[in-house]
A and B are shown apart, each in its own frame.
Chain A
Amino acid sequence: MKRIFIKEEFCIGCRLCEIYCLVEHSNSKDIIKAFKKENPRPLPRIIVEEKGYLSFGLQCRHCGEPPCLEACMSGALHRDERTGAILHNRDKCVGCWMCIMVCPYGAIKRDINGKKVASKCDLCIGRGLPICVEKCPNQALILKEG
Chain B
Amino acid sequence: MCVRQCAFEGHSYDPETDEVISREEVCVGCHRCVTLCPTNALTVRRNPLDFRPNANWTAWAIRNIFKQAETGGVLLTGMGNDRPYPIYWDHLLLNASQVTNPSIDPLREPMELRTYLGRKTERLELDYRGETVKLKTQLPPQLKLETPILFSAMSYGAISYNACESLARAAEALGIYYNTGEGGLHPDLYKYGKNTIVQVASGRFGVHKEYLDTAAAIEIKIGQGAKPGIGGHLPGEKVVEEVSKTRMIPKGTDALSPAPQHDIYSIEDLRMLIFALKEATRYTKPISVKIAAVHNSAAIASGMVRAGADIIAIDGFRGGTGAAPMVIRDNVGIPIEFALASVDQRLRDEGIRHQASIVVAGGFRNSADIFKAIALGADAVYIGTSALIAMGCHMCQKCYTGKCNWGIATQDPYLSKRLNPEIASERLINLIHAWSHEIKEMLGGMGINAIESLRGNRLALRGVGLTDTELEILGVLPAGR
Q: Do A and B share a complex?
A: yes
Residues of A within 8 A of B (CB): 9-16, 19-20, 23, 31-32, 53, 137-140
B271 at the interface (CB under 8 A from A): no
Q: Is the CB of B38 within 8 A of A139?
A: no
Closest to A20 in B: B38
Docked complex Cα distance between A53 and B4 (Å):
12
> Quick check: which of B132-140, B212-220, B311-319, B416-424 contacts chain A, the rest being far away?
B416-424
Per-residue CB contact flags for chain B residues 350-374 toward chain A (1 = under 8 Å, else 0) read 0000000000000000000000000
Q: How many whole Å from A12's CB to the nearest CB in chain B?
A: 5
Q: How many whole Å from B70's CB to the nearest CB in chain A?
A: 33
B66 at the interface (CB under 8 A from A): no
29 CB < 8 A contacts A-B: A10-B417, A10-B420, A11-B417, A12-B5, A12-B407, A12-B418, A13-B4, A14-B1, A14-B4, A14-B5, A14-B36, A15-B1, A16-B1, A16-B36, A16-B38, A19-B1, A19-B38, A20-B38, A23-B38, A31-B38, A31-B39, A32-B39, A53-B413, A53-B414, A53-B417, A138-B417, A138-B418, A139-B420, A139-B423
Q: Which of chain B's residues 1-53 have a Cβ closer than 8 Å to chain A? A: 1, 4-5, 36, 38-39
Q: How many whole Å from B178's CB to the nearest CB in chain A?
A: 21
Docked complex Cα distance between A13 and B422 (Å):
18
Q: Is the CB of A139 within 8 A of B422?
A: yes
Besides the known contacts A53-B413, A53-B417, 4 further A-B residue pairs in the complex with CB atoms under 8 A apart: A12-B417, A12-B418, A14-B4, A31-B39
Q: Is the CB of A138 within 8 A of B423?
A: yes
Which of under 10, 10 to 19, 20 to 34, or 35 or more describes the interface residues of B? 10 to 19
Q: How many whole Å from B362's CB to the nearest CB in chain A?
A: 31
Docked complex Cα distance between A23 and B417 (Å):
26
**Looking at the complex, which one of A9, A15, A31 makes contact with B417 (CB distance below 8 Å)?**
A9
Closest to B35 in A: A137
Q: How many whole Å from A26's CB to the nearest CB in chain B?
A: 13
Q: Is the CB of B39 within 8 A of A140?
A: no
Docked complex Cα distance between A53 and B416 (Å):
10
Q: Which residues of A contact B38 (CB under 8 A)?
A: 16, 19-20, 23, 31
Docked complex Cα distance between A12 and B98 (Å):
54
Q: How many whole Å from B190's CB to the nearest CB in chain A?
A: 20
Residues of B within 8 A of A (CB): 1, 4-5, 36, 38-39, 407, 413-414, 417-418, 420, 422-423
Docked complex Cα distance between A10 and B420 (Å):
6
Q: How many whole Å from A137's CB to the nearest CB in chain B?
A: 6
Docked complex Cα distance between A32 and B413 (Å):
33
Q: Is the CB of B4 within 8 A of A140?
A: no
Q: Which residues of A contact B423 (CB under 8 A)?
A: 138-139
Q: Which residues of A contact B5 (CB under 8 A)?
A: 12, 14
Q: Is the CB of B4 within 8 A of A138?
A: no
Closest to A13 in B: B4
Closest to B37 in A: A16
Q: Which residues of A contact B39 (CB under 8 A)?
A: 31-32
Q: Which residues of A contact B418 (CB under 8 A)?
A: 12, 138
**Looking at the complex, which one of A10, A31, A137 makes contact with B36 (CB distance below 8 Å)?**
A137
Q: Which residues of A contact B407 (CB under 8 A)?
A: 12
Q: Which residues of A contact B4 (CB under 8 A)?
A: 13-15
Q: Which residues of B contact A20 (CB under 8 A)?
A: 38
Closest to A11 in B: B417
Docked complex Cα distance between A138 and B406 (Å):
11
Docked complex Cα distance between A19 and B1 (Å):
9
Docked complex Cα distance between A14 and B36 (Å):
9
Closest to B1 in A: A14
Q: How many whole Å from B37's CB to the nearest CB in chain A?
A: 9
Closest to B415 in A: A12
Q: How many whole Å from B10's CB to the nearest CB in chain A?
A: 15
Q: How many whole Å from A101's CB to the nearest CB in chain B?
A: 31
Docked complex Cα distance between A20 and B39 (Å):
11
Closest to A9 in B: B417
Q: How many whole Å from A93's CB to the nearest CB in chain B?
A: 30
Most buried by B among A12, A13, A138: A12
Q: Which residues of B contact A53 (CB under 8 A)?
A: 413-414, 417
Docked complex Cα distance between A14 and B38 (Å):
11
Docked complex Cα distance between A14 and B405 (Å):
12
Docked complex Cα distance between A122 and B4 (Å):
28
Docked complex Cα distance between A103 and B293 (Å):
64
Q: How many whole Å from B18's CB to the nearest CB in chain A?
A: 11
Q: How many whole Å from A88's CB to the nearest CB in chain B?
A: 26
Closest to A50 in B: B4
Docked complex Cα distance between A2 and B380 (Å):
46
Q: Which residues of B contact A31 (CB under 8 A)?
A: 38-39
Q: Which residues of B contact A13 (CB under 8 A)?
A: 4, 414
Q: Which residues of B contact A16 (CB under 8 A)?
A: 1, 36, 38
Q: Which residues of B contact A14 (CB under 8 A)?
A: 1, 4-5, 36
Query: Which 7 pairs between the two chains have the least Cβ-Cβ distance?
Result: A53-B413, A10-B420, A12-B418, A138-B420, A53-B414, A19-B38, A14-B1
Closest to A15 in B: B1
Closest to B413 in A: A53
